[in-house]
Copies of this chain bind each other. A is one copy, B any other.
């Protein structure tokens, strides 16, 4: 079955040309059908500069755009014809299997909740992303969907993360850590101290305890669970340090002529290093817990990042992530979720 990916061509800081270029490359690599959603004239102009041979591309008109500084929830309600709303309706109407957007992430989430709705039993969706680590990849969630979650939300984040890593990476019984300011079970802010016993009480989660900031990039566990505020800060700090270090290295190795010559010989090493660090290679962040495969790409996404986000979208659709999460949560919710959470606290 060919996967049909709808791409919000108007989202992102770099304009439709970059999105269209990346989406086309991604559709070609993934052998997916591409639905480009947005201003038809702008999309056609972008397409006219590219080689579309061999790719099944359709342009879907959307007459409005949610801006990066729009209030997310208000904008998606007031702009029903915005590219993100139109793209998501393609999933709801059965015309697309996944949506990729580099737009205002709050708006993507609000529109997803409005158009697709939450998976039954899920209290709050979460944004998840792979982080490059020494040992491979770690899934970090939430990255900003819920800045002040309830303890039971984080238990569901762990469950959704588990489904993602099991289905997409085929890792059985992935290890789960709770992000904290120390490894000891007594460490943590009030939220972490409430969540720790809840996670420890879940028999079907491979919870290994608290982990620290360094563990996010050390590959200590398969999944790191945290609130959306802390997760966002950790991700952006990691991106910042990576940028800083590559910049520092560039300065140092070009400081003198002999260094420049040696650096020239090391080009393959640097290229390989950059690719291991490049968040563009890691791709988009799936919005877990909504009824559909929705992939949020970075606002500053390059064409390469959009291409990578498409591959995440294809896999999310192929492996029926939303269906997997629904099954996983149904197992938990034979009694209502918040009652279950309370029971575990007492136990």
Which residues from chain A sit less than 8 Å from chain B, CB to CB? 69, 71, 133-134, 144, 147-148, 179-182, 184, 186, 188-190, 192, 212-218, 226-230, 232-245, 247-249, 252-253, 255, 258-259, 261-263, 265-266, 268-270, 272-273, 276-277
Residues of B contacting A218 in the complex (Cβ-Cβ under 8 angstroms): 240, 243-244
Residues of B contacting A229 in the complex (Cβ-Cβ under 8 angstroms): 180-181, 188-189, 192, 230
CB distance from A196 to the nearest CB of B (A): 13
Whether B241 lies near A270 (C-beta < 8 A) is: no
Whether A266 lies near B237 (C-beta < 8 A) is: no
**Could you tell me the distance between the alpha carbons of A217 and B236 in the complex, rounded to whole angstroms?**
10
Given A234-B213, A262-B262, A244-B133 contact (CB < 8 Å): yes
Given A189-B147, A229-B189, A240-B266 contact (CB < 8 Å): no
Residues of B contacting A184 in the complex (Cβ-Cβ under 8 angstroms): 69
Contact of A262 among B179, B189, B265 (CB under 8 A): B265
Given A181-B144, A230-B230, A277-B248 contact (CB < 8 Å): yes
Whether B273 lies near A248 (C-beta < 8 A) is: yes
Can you report 7 residue pairs joining A to B where beta carbons are below 8 Å apart? A147-B189, A189-B229, A214-B237, A230-B230, A234-B237, A248-B273, A252-B272
**Could you tell me the distance between the alpha carbons of A334 and B247 in the complex, rounded to whole angstroms?**
47
Residues of B contacting A243 in the complex (Cβ-Cβ under 8 angstroms): 214, 218
Whether A245 lies near B247 (C-beta < 8 A) is: no
Q: Specify how many copies of this chain sit in the oligomer.
A: 2
Whether B227 lies near A189 (C-beta < 8 A) is: yes
Q: Which 9 residue pairs across A and B have the least CB separation, nearest first?
A: A213-B236, A214-B240, A213-B237, A181-B232, A262-B265, A252-B269, A241-B241, A189-B229, A147-B189
Specify the chain B residue showing the minimal Cβ separation from A261.
B265
Contact of A179 among B192, B233, B242 (CB under 8 A): B233
Contact of A266 among B148, B226, B253 (CB under 8 A): B253
Residues of B contacting A238 in the complex (Cβ-Cβ under 8 angstroms): 213, 237-238, 240-241
Whether B228 lies near A181 (C-beta < 8 A) is: yes
Given A244-B133, A252-B270, A190-B148 contact (CB < 8 Å): yes
**Could you tell me the distance between the alpha carbons of A213 and B259 in the complex, rounded to whole angstroms?**
32
Contact of A259 among B148, B232, B242, B269 (CB under 8 A): B269
Residues of B contacting A268 in the complex (Cβ-Cβ under 8 angstroms): 259
Residues of B contacting A259 in the complex (Cβ-Cβ under 8 angstroms): 265-266, 268-269
Residues of B contacting A241 in the complex (Cβ-Cβ under 8 angstroms): 217, 237-238, 241-242, 245
Residues of B contacting A269 in the complex (Cβ-Cβ under 8 angstroms): 249, 252-253, 255, 259, 263
Whether A134 lies near B244 (C-beta < 8 A) is: yes
**Could you tell me the distance between the alpha carbons of A214 and B188 in the complex, rounded to whole angstroms?**
23
Contact of A239 among B214, B253, B273 (CB under 8 A): B214
**Could you tell me the distance between the alpha carbons of A262 and B268 in the complex, rounded to whole angstroms?**
12
Specify the chain B residue showing the minimal Cβ separation from A255.
B269
